[in-house]
């Protein structure tokens, strides 16, 4: 099961309910997806098909919305 946190400029930002405990967000568009750590800082973990120019765009969007993403993480994964 996944929880969509945000949709911006063709990207969907979401969490999986049962995945590793380290805070991260998945970012998906029509071409593929990437996974970014959000703690302690935003950092690309893996790219699964996003085009090379889409990765920095996705990372920038994560950084721009990091407070909302972290709040959603804390709400969805309390403790």
Domain that holds residue 47: 2-76
Mean pLDDT in consecutive groups of 10 residues from the start of the chain, 79 residues: 92 90 96 97 98 98 98 91
**Number of structural domains the chain divides into:** 1
pTM for the whole structure: 0.94
Cα dihedral sign, 70-74-76-79 = positive
Side-chain half-sphere of 6: how many Cα atoms within 13 Å?
A: 21
The reported pLDDT for the residue numbered 48 is 97
Contacts 24+ apart (CB under 8 A), 42-47: 42/66
**Which strands make up the sheet holding 24-29, listed edge to edge?**
2-8, 11-16, 24-29, 32-37, 43-48
The reported pLDDT for the residue numbered 46 is 97
């Amino acid at each position: 099961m996944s929880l969509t946190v945000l949709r911006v400029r063709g990207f969907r930002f979401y969490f999986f309910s049962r995945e590793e405990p380290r805070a991260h967000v998945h970012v998906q568009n029509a071409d593929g997806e990437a996974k970014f750590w959000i703690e302690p800082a935003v950092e690309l973990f893996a790219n699964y098909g996003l085009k090379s120019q889409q990765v920095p765009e996705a990372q920038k969007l994560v950084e721009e919305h990091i407070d909302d993403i972290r709040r959603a993480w804390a709400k969805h994964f309390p403790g």
